[in-house]
Structure 1
């Protein structure tokens, strides 16, 4: 009977059910990671050397969200008889093997595999051997800094600890943890504020539309800059393809591959140079070398991905503007219809809602849902920041600790059940989401970005490495919220924590540095980035939070919301598309003996103003006229005028302006602006019949002509200008 009882007890304590649950959870994580990869990368055409490392770089950090609750429940055991109260648990040996595999694979991906593969994919060389050498050369400085820091840390640990057996491993793990913790605390602090604030702001539908319109000029300028840069490189490739003889003969296959990457016409691609580009194309070198071709290939591929990034961002902005405006307009008809369903639309909008229920959801329910979720996440952010501040001095005041660990009368350290495990997983997911969302808002070198179905390979490797780098510090930082009586008994602490606390410096750094989370929290909460930009007059590229101080119109310096409204209206009405189509036809039809391409301009603002008067005071986007455009007669935003100074004409806006402002004095410049202001005014009837006296050089035949700027006299003469008649040049 005793043997049967022991077998029954052993069977009841078997972790088979927990192992099955862990395996199913790992399978679900794998499916989610595959969907994420499919969202940003085409799986069929992406090489395996990219998909496999990135898959593990995402899957391993996600598995830590599963391992930490299991480790907490397994270590919080009181006795064998109460094993069923531990929730999902595993044997210590299985946990140790899992942590070792997860940690060292993540470490290898973060510091070695992903950086080398990123530079390999970004290299412009054709041969794999040359690309590997170029990748190692590009990472040489990075590894020199890493190994130099490791050598200094090793000397410190040897002096403090006095043993060599564990010094090397502990130094490597501690330094990697410290660097990751610095980055994780800064990014998480920013995300803990930006996520709830974004929900609060998006709850106001009209405010959301205004912010979209304020962002439109900036996104449009970046899209056109990217297209101009790509066109310059395509022109350079076209000129290279026409070079025959000399050193170019050794690289004909390479040059033909570059031509295939461009969008030049198949017949006589060099003829496109008359209407394409900014006019500042770099001249080809006298001797074509392999290094120069590799650099040209790298810049061309980067330019193509940059163009794809900003075109996708612009299209998404237009879609958001149309959808938000439709929600506002539905207040009158009580029906909401977004037109033809986008393939990327939500399943709820495509299948389950009719126009009336869609109106109720988007106009009434969704704002309150955003407000409620924003308030809930705000409380969660406060709890995380509070727990960071009190976990060392007053660990019993940690709110996260009480939400995860429940009281156990048989033990002082508490116990973690299934509910506590689920809550712990949710806390970790929110902390990781706050850090990872901040990464997408960081203005990083090389303009890396995640683009739907078209992310650059180097950008995919870089973002995957950041996810892997942040996972371990955030995991261990969360465990310190639960009190030393609980997390010091875990397998993860025995594997990593004791090595971090090996020296007094590491212990104090682990406990005190997270308190600096107040710096990014306060900087984001009070708009410090925008104030720095306003005071010093330069763009802050660290974190570009939307409308940090609520006045992006003043901070961004790229135009007002009215200009953004005009850009969106022009794009939706097909004006920009027509211009692009005409320009592409000119490019394709240009040949021998053809005259230079026509100068394409934007339709005059008077036409748009007249059309708005005929429709009435309501604009196409439902905003009421303001004092700046009374009666709906505002002028069309001249986006080319503020970009002419850069020396690059924009696509579809080839404006010819003679800017000779360097040769005129203050009064001449004032005359230019005064004349430009007068020419844009509508002449009143009483002034149209006014005849100039003879002392002003007028006669009966040119009455009123000077008011239009078409007479022989020029108002700039009064300010020292030399323009007269039709020869005057207007300065914009």
Structure 2
């Protein structure tokens, strides 16, 4: 009797894998919908960005399937979701080479194409290639050197070329992935730990308010300058301007100015006369028009970015303050939901009391518990990176994924596949979170429903670039079992083709201790403070103890700024721009005939004093400034100079005197000091007796009697705002 044997079919696993890919596709579409308007976004952006996110997400599914498919034939029952080796090889080839082309060719060219200011598609493509020429020169130069080394070491040209391309792409991606992942492994748990403290979260929000508000004002001022150039360009007639009339009309439509701002802006241009025409070159060229278009588009997206950050900061401040205040009443009500709020924010089944219990008690403890779990996971990842090349049997991740051991051979079941997917998700989240915190990428940012096209391409390219190195790096945690996978035979053998590639693959991940230590001990902030860098590097989310006093970025200043904005006492930026433009038009072109930039400032008010709208006090001090030019403009205005008057430059001692006076004016006189009577040689007056009279005299600085002015600057030569030595 012949005994028939039937081999197991991978069809159930294929159906389950296809269902998971469908879920991944829906998740990617929801992410794109969150950051981009799908209906108005062109297809040349949506399609490559979709695949740049979908392919890395599919690797999180493909790696566990590859690990389970390497089980021995007599242990089929121990497998989880598995596929045939041929199907796995085709899947890896498609995934890898599509990701490679997107990372190194398609996305960079499309990013510069979308950022180009030219109108003609051919000119856009040529401009994109010119912008990427230096990038490709570096890539091909490194490829030629690597090819020579591999050709000498191995000797086979066809294998050497393929190995060089894949190994160099992997090495560059691994360098970036290790650095970003090391920062994220510390930053994510620490952020959860700190967000569990409600009062600390509120103070953190308040300390960020002046910086965000100042950047929003700077973005508005930069956009205004560009809009004035476009407005002046539209008023020109004849000459080279006629060649670009349609282009200029498109820029005018792009500005989308409100009706109330247009008369003021036109009066500014008429009042400034020849000065405003100096903004534009004598001959208008296509290069100038392209550059103006590029800068205008970037300025609009920068303004949208910081307005979005400011609105989100206000919402977070209101919500956090409401949670903190609910401790007394044991009831929490956030009020009416925003029209742009999500489904879960508009609909809730919680009562005010259960909402208080959830947000005040449950959420902080849940964040602490999750932070503790992620801290342990970060320690395990860092430890596995260090010991995988020397003592692979001590890797913690190896034993958490491989559960079925037969001698020295291990097999991955369904539970191990789920755990492996969770490990990879956390590693990718740590690296990708760090990308969003980097502030040196030419102002790129992800904005809800309004992300710039160039920013979308750039972030998608980073996701694609990090996916393959992180996937292969995770497989190396599992010891010798990963050498039986299809992924190792496709990529790993080419990386380990030379001794240099083998040593790099095993030893370089140990350098993860550098970004981990730098983030853990706040090295980024210390370096920035010591060397005074003008740009923001990765935010180490350090302690804000240095910002506990009044000054730029202090939490008290942010608290007052948020209160003024929420109470409606701070006028809108667009309204202040129109008022500043009207004042400039009325004051003329100034002594030198140059256009004076509008000064955007917010008055400082004491906590207990009633607030007043902007411009009611001539001595109002800006709340969110740290640039010397804007300090000089504000100081010139407070000394009595009109807005149209060109502010004179301050030297060091003048600026020191102004800062010292502004600081002294914000102090509240202690009660014990109010009862002390000043002697006559210090400007005392017997007519002002008693605590209230003495306090009023001190607060006014002796305004009632100019001979008894007690301003401290009088000791250094007078009270005219200058300090003499």
Does the 8 Å contact 2:657/2:721 carry over to 1? no
1:678–1:70 CA distance, 2 compared to 1 (3 A): closer
- Which of 462, 476, 483 is 2:472 aligned to? 476
Partners of 2:663 and 2:511 lie apart in 1 by 54
The aligned counterpart of 2:309 is 313
Alpha-carbon displacement from aligned partner over 1:6-36 (angstroms, at most 9, x marks no partner):
2xx23xx010000101111111100000000
The aligned counterpart of 1:246 is 239
Partners of 1:269 and 1:594 lie apart in 2 by 18
- Which of 422, 437, 448 is 1:441 aligned to? 437
1:639 aligns with 2:623: yes
For 1:89-104, list aligned pairs within 5 A.
Answer: 89-104=82-97
SS of aligned partner of 1:414: strand
Does the 8 Å contact 1:691/1:700 carry over to 2? no
Task: For residue 553 of structure 1, report the CA deviation from its aligned partner.
Answer: 1.7
Task: For residue 118 of structure 1, report the CA deviation from its aligned partner.
Answer: 0.0
The aligned counterpart of 1:39 is 34
SS of aligned partner of 2:283: coil
Partners of 2:217 and 2:10 lie apart in 1 by 60
The aligned counterpart of 1:359 is 356
Task: For residue 246 of structure 1, report the CA deviation from its aligned partner.
Answer: 1.1
Does the 8 Å contact 1:566/1:637 carry over to 2? no
The aligned counterpart of 2:254 is 261
The aligned counterpart of 1:323 is 319
Alpha-carbon displacement from aligned partner over 1:379-412 (angstroms, at most 9, x marks no partner):
1111111111111111111111101112333x52
Partners of 1:78 and 1:509 lie apart in 2 by 31
1:209 aligns with 2:202: yes
SS of aligned partner of 1:165: helix
Task: For residue 582 of structure 1, report the CA deviation from its aligned partner.
Answer: 4.6
Task: For residue 443 of structure 1, report the CA deviation from its aligned partner.
Answer: 1.3
For 1:636-675, list aligned pairs within 5 A.
Answer: 638-639=622-623, 642-643=626-627, 645-646=629-630, 662=650, 673=660
Task: For residue 542 of structure 1, report the CA deviation from its aligned partner.
Answer: 3.0
Task: For residue 351 of structure 1, report the CA deviation from its aligned partner.
Answer: 1.7
SS of aligned partner of 2:410: strand
Unaligned 5+ runs, structure 1: 613-634
Partners of 1:423 and 1:100 lie apart in 2 by 25
Query: What is the TM-score of this pair, normalised by structure 1?
Result: 0.85
Partners of 1:697 and 1:193 lie apart in 2 by 58
The aligned counterpart of 2:142 is 149
Alpha-carbon displacement from aligned partner over 1:249-294 (angstroms, at most 9, x marks no partner):
1101111111111143569947416679xx9987110100000010
For 1:290-309, list aligned pairs within 5 A.
Answer: 290-309=286-305
For 1:532-543, list aligned pairs within 5 A.
Answer: 532-539=527-534, 541-543=536-538
Task: For residue 131 of structure 1, report the CA deviation from its aligned partner.
Answer: 0.3
- Which of 365, 369, 378 is 1:368 aligned to? 365
For 1:707-726, list aligned pairs within 5 A.
Answer: 707-708=702-703, 711=706, 718-719=714-715, 721=717
1:406–1:351 CA distance, 2 compared to 1 (3 A): same
Does the 8 Å contact 2:212/2:306 carry over to 1? yes
The aligned counterpart of 1:221 is 214
Does the 8 Å contact 1:214/1:552 carry over to 2? no
Partners of 1:686 and 1:424 lie apart in 2 by 69
1:699–1:194 CA distance, 2 compared to 1 (3 A): closer
Q: Structure 1 residues 344-353 or 131-140, which shifts more?
A: 344-353
- Which of 379, 390, 393 is 2:390 aligned to? 393
Task: For residue 540 of structure 1, report the CA deviation from its aligned partner.
Answer: 6.1
1:553 aligns with 2:552: no
1:48 aligns with 2:47: no
1:149–1:415 CA distance, 2 compared to 1 (3 A): same
The aligned counterpart of 2:609 is 610
Partners of 1:455 and 1:362 lie apart in 2 by 31
Task: For residue 665 of structure 1, report the CA deviation from its aligned partner.
Answer: 6.2
Task: For residue 353 of structure 1, report the CA deviation from its aligned partner.
Answer: 1.2
1:681–1:85 CA distance, 2 compared to 1 (3 A): closer
The aligned counterpart of 2:482 is 487
1:536–1:557 CA distance, 2 compared to 1 (3 A): farther
1:427 aligns with 2:459: no
Does the 8 Å contact 1:189/1:520 carry over to 2? yes
The aligned counterpart of 2:2 is 2
For 1:452-463, list aligned pairs within 5 A.
Answer: 452-463=448-459
Does the 8 Å contact 1:640/1:655 carry over to 2? no
1:323–1:730 CA distance, 2 compared to 1 (3 A): farther
1:349–1:241 CA distance, 2 compared to 1 (3 A): closer
The aligned counterpart of 2:539 is 544
Alpha-carbon displacement from aligned partner over 1:553-597 (angstroms, at most 9, x marks no partner):
279973311001001101100112x35475366589899999999
Q: Structure 1 residues 366-375 or 586-595, which shifts more?
A: 586-595
Task: For residue 448 of structure 1, report the CA deviation from its aligned partner.
Answer: 0.3
Does the 8 Å contact 1:40/1:450 carry over to 2? yes
1:249–1:271 CA distance, 2 compared to 1 (3 A): farther
SS of aligned partner of 2:282: coil
Does the 8 Å contact 1:601/1:654 carry over to 2? no
Partners of 1:605 and 1:103 lie apart in 2 by 59
Partners of 1:599 and 1:92 lie apart in 2 by 67
Partners of 1:550 and 1:592 lie apart in 2 by 43
Partners of 1:231 and 1:140 lie apart in 2 by 33
Task: For residue 709 of structure 1, report the CA deviation from its aligned partner.
Answer: 6.5
Q: Alpha carbon RMSD of aligned pairs, Å? A: 3.8
SS of aligned partner of 2:348: helix
1:670–1:450 CA distance, 2 compared to 1 (3 A): closer
Partners of 1:452 and 1:654 lie apart in 2 by 38
Task: For residue 354 of structure 1, report the CA deviation from its aligned partner.
Answer: 1.4
Task: For residue 59 of structure 1, report the CA deviation from its aligned partner.
Answer: 0.3
Does the 8 Å contact 2:217/2:573 carry over to 1? no
Alpha-carbon displacement from aligned partner over 1:483-522 (angstroms, at most 9, x marks no partner):
12x1111111110000000000000000000000000011
Partners of 2:242 and 2:91 lie apart in 1 by 56
Partners of 2:649 and 2:283 lie apart in 1 by 39
1:730–1:335 CA distance, 2 compared to 1 (3 A): farther
Alpha-carbon displacement from aligned partner over 1:360-397 (angstroms, at most 9, x marks no partner):
00001111100000000111111111111111111111
1:672–1:565 CA distance, 2 compared to 1 (3 A): closer
SS of aligned partner of 2:408: strand
1:515–1:82 CA distance, 2 compared to 1 (3 A): same
Alpha-carbon displacement from aligned partner over 1:673-711 (angstroms, at most 9, x marks no partner):
569947988899999999989x9999999x979711763
Task: For residue 83 of structure 1, report the CA deviation from its aligned partner.
Answer: 1.6
Does the 8 Å contact 2:69/2:79 carry over to 1? yes
For 1:584-595, list aligned pairs within 5 A.
Answer: 586=579
Partners of 2:46 and 2:713 lie apart in 1 by 69
Alpha-carbon displacement from aligned partner over 1:643-674 (angstroms, at most 9, x marks no partner):
56337969xx98676665747968x9659956
The aligned counterpart of 2:614 is none
The aligned counterpart of 2:616 is none
- Which of 502, 508, 521 is 2:503 aligned to? 508
Q: Structure 1 residues 160-169 or 291-300, which shifts more?
A: 160-169
1:397–1:637 CA distance, 2 compared to 1 (3 A): farther
1:496 aligns with 2:491: yes
- Which of 562, 571, 586 is 1:568 aligned to? 562
Q: Structure 1 residues 87-96 or 258-267, which shifts more?
A: 258-267
1:65 aligns with 2:60: yes
1:519 aligns with 2:518: no
Partners of 2:477 and 2:315 lie apart in 1 by 42
Does the 8 Å contact 1:57/1:106 carry over to 2? yes
Task: For residue 722 of structure 1, report the CA deviation from its aligned partner.
Answer: 6.1
Query: What is the TM-score of this pair, normalised by structure 2?
Result: 0.86
Task: For residue 243 of structure 1, report the CA deviation from its aligned partner.
Answer: 1.0
Partners of 2:379 and 2:231 lie apart in 1 by 58
